[in-house]
Structure 1
Amino acid sequence: MKTKRIVITGGPGSGKTALITYLEQQGYAVMHEISRDVILEAQKEGIEQLFLENPILFSEKLLEGRLKQFHEGKNCAAPILFYDRGMPDVTAYMDFVNTHYPENFSETCLEHKYDEVFVLPPWEEIYKQDNERYESFEQAEKIFHFLKNGYENYGYKIYEVPVGTIKERAQSIISTIKLKTI
């Protein structure tokens, strides 16, 4: 049986990480977001906001890490593997900041496809800024649209996850996945 690769994405502060953590607690296999690791690594080297100071380098590190996760997913024996963001997030963010990126970014996204993509909409009531999340809520709303368009441009059908409790959101995703396998 082939493992279904499911991306959960959305703008900053939309509840992705909490949802991924919940799914993991429910016994699902997950690949966690790596951008905070990249940010913290750069901060240890004295670069406060790598994405703002060198967006190409930051994005290369993210794409490399997410590609590594994609390949690691081949070893997953679980029927479903959730990813906290996918490779097309990288190009969507680059488009958001209107920064040209190497063609191999798009080629990588086209050559390594996920099975389903779920996007969480902006949710002001839960949005919080912190040291790694410097975007305003208004920017988070714009990023959400860039993410949707970015994945659609790579040929994905996007499923928008309704606002609700973590359990309700997880059930919405699982129900959609089950309906697709019937």
Structure 2
Amino acid sequence: MKIKSVKNLLIGGPSTGKSTVIEALSDLGYFCFPEISREVTLEARQLGIEHLFLDDPLRFSEMLLKGRIKQFEEAETLDTRHVFMDRGIPDVTAYMDHFQEDYPKEFQKANKTHVYDNVFLFPIWNDIYTQDNERFEDLDLAESLQDSLVKTYRDLGYPLIEVPKTRIHVRMNFILNSIKTK
């Protein structure tokens, strides 16, 4: 009998430690889906588009949405108890709303038809925040994006489980202890 995978989502503003925890969970043998925005950004750069999100936010968001839906649907087919995902489908509309960009109704429909079981919020943490070639957001923008993410997920009815600002293994154990009974 196939197990229904519990979809555990890690959300938060840029540079809050999500990807680091995803890598640590993967190292422990959990099935994890990485953040795909860097992949989309690098793909666009290979096509000569330096900042796809800034140059064509709708195209960027459509590519992200497609990739995140693909991850969600793949998670539905896995025969494993827990799946972890770095960012989710509602992140797309949270960013579009934040930047006051228009998007098709299918974006909101995707938010409602693809529901995660647990949503872990990684708070903004000044001590670990960094910018790089793919992360254009400064700390102030990261904080306001965090607010948009929280609003979007709460408006969709998700209870957010805040992950403490501490060492990686403690954050990981916090998440694993939170899902033990599910």
Residue 154 (structure 1) aligns with: 156
Please state how far the C-alpha of 1:91 moved relative to its aligned partner: 0.4
Question: What secondary structure, in the 3-state scheme, does the structure 1 residue paired with 2:180 have?
Answer: helix
Residue 115 of structure 1: aligned partner: 117
| CA–CA separation in structure 2 for the residues paired with 1:165 and 1:59 | 32
Match of 2:104 in 1: 102
Residue among 30, 33, 58 paired with 1:31 = 33
Give SS of 2:147's match. helix
| 1:70 aligns to 2:72 (yes or no) | yes
In the other structure, the counterpart of 1:10 is 12
Distance (whole Å) between structure 1 residues aligned to residue 163 and residue 95 of structure 2: 20
User: 1:135 is matched with which residue?
Assistant: 137
Offset of residue 3 of structure 1: 0.8
Q: Secondary structure at the match of 1:30?
A: strand
Task: Give TM-score, length-normalised by structure 2.
Answer: 0.96
For residue 39 of structure 1, what is the amino acid of its counterpart?
T
SS at 1:8's partner residue? strand
In the alignment, the residues of structure 2 paired with residue 26 and residue 125 of structure 1 have an alpha-carbon distance, to the nearest angstrom, of 26
Q: Give the match's secondary structure for 1:5.
A: strand
Question: Deviations 1:83-133 (Å, cap 9, x if unpaired)?
Answer: 000100000111111112111100011011111100100111111101100
Deviations 1:143-182 (A, max 9, x none): 1111111111111111111100011111111111124x3x
Deviation digits for residues 22-53 of structure 1 (CA, Å, limit 9, x no counterpart): 01011111011110010001111111110011
Counterpart amino acid of residue 144 in structure 1: Q
* 1:93 to 2:60 alignment: no
Q: Which residue of 2 aligns with 1:124?
A: 126
Q: Which runs of 4+ in 1 moved over 2 A?
A: none
For 2:55 and 2:61, the matched residues in 1 are separated by 11
Query: TM-score w.r.t. structure 1 length?
Result: 0.96
**1-side partners of 2:102 and 2:151: how far apart?**
17
Distance, in Å, in 2 between the alignment partners of 1:114 and 1:165 is: 25
Task: Give the gaps of 5 or more residues in structure 1.
Answer: none
Of all paired residues, the percent bearing the same amino acid is 44
- Aligned partners of 1:126, 1:157: CA distance in 2, in Å? 25
Match of 2:165 in 1: 163
What is the SS of the residue equivalent to 2:177? helix
- How many residues matched? 180
Over the aligned positions, Cα root-mean-square deviation in angstroms equals 0.9
2:132 partner SS: coil
